[in-house]
Every structure is written in C-alpha cells, then in structure tokens.
Amino acid sequence: MPSTQKSLMILVAGPYRSGTNDDPELIHANVKAMTDTALALYRIGHLPVLGEWFALPLIEAAGSKQIGDDAFNEIFHPVAIQLISHCDAVLRIGGPSAGADEMVNTGKAHNKTIFYNFDDIPKLK
C-alpha cells in the first residue's frame, strides 16, 4: 500500500571545507559523506539535494581558480541558502562546520523542518 505521506525535498548540510585545510582528498571525503546520505534519503522516498550540486558547476563556469577565491565565495554558500527556500527540510550531518550550521539556521528562519538524525526522517518506501 502506498504511503500517504508526502515526499520531502531535503537539503543535506554537512562540512565541505571544515577541518580539511582545503586538502582535495578530505574535501572529497566530505562530499562523499553528503552524497551517500543523499542516496539513503532517496532510497527511503525523498528527494535529496546538496548545495554543492548547484554551486560547483556555477563556480567553475564563473572562472574560479581555487577554493575561497572571489568567484567561489560569490556562489558557494549563497546558492545553498537560496536553495533552502525550495526545500521542505534540512538534514545536518557530520562534524563542525560553520557553513552547515548556517544552512540549519537559515532553514529555521524559513520555518523548515530540521533533522539531526537520519532515523527521525519518515521512511516512505
């Protein structure tokens, strides 16, 4: 029997640069953790999104040469903040991250549901 609950669009907010000293391998591990969480959300019936999915191609198109340059800073967090208004919820994962905490605070300001534990998210399938 199909669920009567609505599928949620959930922004996965976790560390990107935090604790990495901009080491590409550590950043990749952070993105992988968010992407793995996104897949798990999809598999329980929700539509996951990461700000990185929107921001990184735009950052490249804007001519960014390195993490933290003007083009990067113009786009990276602002895109995720704008994305939150289109989402139903935010899932905070991972360790310390000012950026991920900013996504949570923005979600709260927009009256979005905030999840801190994957197991609290309704499973639709």
- Assess if residue 79 is contained within a domain: yes
Tokens at 63, concatenated: 């001519």
Is residue 57 one of the residues assigned to a domain? yes
Q: Is residue 19 part of a domain?
A: yes
Q: What would the DSSP string read from start to end of 55-74?
A: HHHHHHHTT--STTSHHHHH
Tell me the pLDDT tens digit for each residue of 39-75: 999 999 999 999 999 999 999 999 999 999 999 999 9
User: Which structural domain, as residue segments, surrounds residue 16?
Assistant: 9-119
Residue 50 included in any domain: yes
Does a structural domain hold residue 1?
A: no
Confirm if 11 and 51 have CB atoms less than 8 A apart: yes
Task: Identify whether the C-beta of residue 13 lies closer than 8 Å to the C-beta of residue 77.
Answer: no
Instruction: Tell me, yes or no, whether 3 lies in a domain.
Output: no
Q: Is there a domain that residue 42 lies in?
A: yes
In a domain, 4, yes or no: no
Counting the structural domains of the chain, the total is 1
* Strand-pair partners of 114: 90
Residue with tokens 């999809």: 42
Mean pLDDT of 8-22: 96
Residue 106 and residue 26 in contact, taking contact as beta carbons nearer than 8 Å: no
